[in-house]
Structure 1
Amino acid sequence: MKLDLFHDLAEENGPFASVTFDETRTDPANADRLDARWRDVADRLRDAGAPEEVVASLAEAALEPTGRGGQWGRLLVANADGLLLRHDLPRRPDQDVSWGPVPSLLHAIRALASCLPHVVVRVDHIGADIEVNGGISGSEEELEVQGDHDVLHRFKGGGWSHRRFQERVHDSWEHNAATVAQRLDGIVRHYRPQVIVLMGDERAMTFLEQHVGEETKALIVRSDTGGRAEGTDEEKERLAIEAVLAATRAQAEADLVARFEEQTGRAEAATEGLAPVVEVLQRAQAEELILVEGREHDDQLWVGEGRLQLGTSREDAEMTGAEQPAQVPADAALVWAAVCSRAAVTLVDRAQLNPADGVGAVLRWSDESTPRARVPSVPGHGGT
């Protein structure tokens, strides 16, 4: 998962107050429970050393309604200058409260892991309705694209005039699909979705696929449910979209695991284990940080005030320029280093991958000084 949402935080100075907060309001009569939850969070921030003005800067943002029903969460980050980030999370998160040299973002990332930048296109012979979802950024856009050819309806009959009219209908459908395709190509270039869910009239879908660019075509997954027609079953459509997104996420994770295993097996552009991963993060070599869900989370790392100032020991952190390094949970330090170095983060199940210490990284580049992953020994051969 790309972490663009958090990149602006890397330009700010700590210490940071960060809160992952349950915003669920299933019963308006119980709104006071939200106030009680916030009071508990505020007390924990004060106990951790957060100044009163920092706590106060978070309070209004924490209690502002989401305006949406169901289970929601919210990530809040602030420093001495005030509120830096408020972002709603699409499901109820585990609550997390911290005050320290780096923000604690892992719980929010876990809640956002199901988000995927995608586009839904509902197409017919006239045009299309297009929904753009920006993934973890939470940005959404809806637009309608209409063609400008109006010879759209077939009629019964025969003879030469009938055939000419049918050809004009065919041309109108195709022209309108080309108009939609041009707009969709622009959306793909701008928003960089991971998948396009295409639904609606079969012939209109075929025309659209014929006119989009190769980059767009590679992202399209057809759905036999949904579209622009009246009477469309919205629940079946929603489930169909979720199924496509789940399959896309699973494939992306499988591709990452395969790439990691290939590179570690060749002792090239991947590494594993806490100390080696810290080293490649120090040097901004990591393209993707991999954290195994369910692993032990008791490790501590040392971090400084500057970006990518981290180490497995005080001395190691001081070697990166930290003047007064402090200990923080390893997960928080690793994720923050990924944010500061523009690396992505993927959470995987232990059954998918089990690197040393539950931590791995796929690298942007590798040289002779890069710490190597363990290469499993082969029976009859010497391991490395």
Structure 2
Amino acid sequence: MRTISRTVADPVRAPLLATGPVASIYARTGQGAEGELRLRRRGLAASLAQQGLDPETLQLARMQLASLTEEPGVEAFFLAGGRLLASFHLAGADTPEMAVYAPVPRVLPVLRWFQERPAHLLALVDRAGADLFSQPAGRQTPLMRTIHGPDDEIERNAPGGTAQMRYQHRAEDSWQHNGAHVAEAIADELDRSGASLLLIAGDVRAVQFLERYLPTRVRRQVRITHVPGTRGERRYQQEHVARAVREAVDAETGRMIAAVAEGLGRAGTAVDGTQATADALAEGRVSTLLVTDDPGDRRTLWIGPGAGDLAAQPGPLTAAWPWSFQAPLTDAAIRSALLADADVRVLTPGRAGAPAQGIGALCRFA
């Protein structure tokens, strides 16, 4: 389960490709009186002016702040050279407001938001078919699709005797055919959406037939979780689905932490600590970066223009790139990982089993 899907990776990566400093702005929306909101947004713009943002980009920042949506959440946007590089509406986010003008954009809060809202598929099934709700990563509203099974003889009610047995067998055959049809539709939807989390609810027997016919690739590559409820009760599913998604995200984070711990015992399959992780990023070995979101972290890394131009100490990097500079550790490490098409997993402070010094990685090769 990637933190960000391929479909959103490019917009998140766009600010990281800028050749100069970037303004990273996080502004809360739909919360507070109009006068209070104006004051807060003026404060964000004033902060950028004090940090040296150029007049053209500062004017654009003011325009963006003045035209924010009123939907509750946080608006994150990134500006440089008088251009809007990327913007995201983080519905339901609790990210503090900030305005930072720095060599490396601060995309960690965006990554954390997407991590908490992975793409997933909810299947509400009965013996006649299913309702599928495909939830793209980060979206609030799912896409619904109804699947009708090919067979409509789903009742076993009939007179007794041998006729009863014939009706029962025909009904069982219909359930199986419908289950196979729904399983095929689910596999197609998972392939289309890229979701790696499947939530199933509905009639017990229908669920059994569905799972029997799910392709092997789905059972191996997708996390499958059961949630309470039946078809036709979508409005009652939201709380159960939200809980199941949170548990799946937490379990995946735990799996990655365990994989790092296990990989430390095998040469080169995982690293932890600032120096070892910076070296692995510089060498292009990282497949997944694990980094702790600690607002109090004051550590830095030295970076140059490329994904691999990264070091814990200046030394050779500053000799090769005289204009290299320091950046906050988390921002610099995330930039290096995303530019190299690695995934990033954000950890909360104090997470049990977290890598040493709050940073580590799974590696592509030793």
Name 1:20's counterpart in structure 2: 26
2:56 maps to amino acid? E
Name 1:363's counterpart in structure 2: 363
In the TM superposition, what is the alpha-carbon distance from 1:205 to its structure 2 partner?
Answer: 1.0
In the TM superposition, what is the alpha-carbon distance from 1:209 to its structure 2 partner?
Answer: 0.9
Name 2:252's counterpart in structure 1: 252
Name 2:211's counterpart in structure 1: 209
Moved more, 326-335 or 297-306: 297-306
Given the superposition, is the C-alpha separation of residues 32 and 159 from structure 1 closer, same or farther in structure 2, using an over 3 Å criterion?
farther
**How many percent identity over aligned positions?**
22
Partner deviation per Cα, 1:223-271 (whole Å, 9 max, x = no partner)? 2x22223xx3844x22322332232223222221222112223443222
1:220 maps to amino acid? I
Matched positions, count: 356
- Partner of 1:287, secondary structure, is strand
Q: Distance in 2 between matches of 1:316 and 1:137?
A: 44
Name 1:84's counterpart in structure 2: 85
- Partner of 1:104, secondary structure, is coil
In the TM superposition, what is the alpha-carbon distance from 1:220 to its structure 2 partner?
Answer: 2.0
Given the superposition, is the C-alpha separation of residues 211 and 11 from structure 1 closer, same or farther in structure 2, using an over 3 Å criterion?
same
Structure 2: gaps (5+ residues): none
Name 1:290's counterpart in structure 2: 290
Given the superposition, is the C-alpha separation of residues 161 and 64 from structure 1 closer, same or farther in structure 2, using an over 3 Å criterion?
farther
Do 1:292 and 1:353's aligned partners in 2 also have CA atoms closer than 8 Å?
no
TM-score with structure 2 setting the length: 0.86
Name 2:50's counterpart in structure 1: 47
Given the superposition, is the C-alpha separation of residues 212 and 47 from structure 1 closer, same or farther in structure 2, using an over 3 Å criterion?
same
1:174 maps to amino acid? Q
Moved more, 270-279 or 129-138: 129-138
In the TM superposition, what is the alpha-carbon distance from 1:136 to its structure 2 partner?
Answer: 4.3
Name 2:40's counterpart in structure 1: 37
1:278 maps to amino acid? A
Q: Distance in 2 between matches of 1:240 and 1:312?
A: 44
Do 1:301 and 1:312's aligned partners in 2 also have CA atoms closer than 8 Å?
yes
Do 2:15 and 2:22's aligned partners in 1 also have CA atoms closer than 8 Å?
no
Q: Distance in 1 between matches of 2:240 and 2:89?
A: 24
Moved more, 36-45 or 290-299: 290-299
2:218 maps to amino acid? T
Name 1:155's counterpart in structure 2: 157
1:240 aligns with 2:240: yes
Partner deviation per Cα, 1:49-103 (whole Å, 9 max, x = no partner)? 22233234345554556574xx511221122261121112242212232222221
Given the superposition, is the C-alpha separation of residues 344 and 168 from structure 1 closer, same or farther in structure 2, using an over 3 Å criterion?
same
Name 1:334's counterpart in structure 2: 333
In the TM superposition, what is the alpha-carbon distance from 1:364 to its structure 2 partner?
Answer: 1.1
Do 1:117 and 1:192's aligned partners in 2 also have CA atoms closer than 8 Å?
yes
In the TM superposition, what is the alpha-carbon distance from 1:114 to its structure 2 partner?
Answer: 1.7
Given the superposition, is the C-alpha separation of residues 274 and 60 from structure 1 closer, same or farther in structure 2, using an over 3 Å criterion?
same
- Partner of 2:264, secondary structure, is helix
Do 2:3 and 2:114's aligned partners in 1 also have CA atoms closer than 8 Å?
no
1:222 maps to amino acid? H
In the TM superposition, what is the alpha-carbon distance from 1:104 to its structure 2 partner?
Answer: 0.8
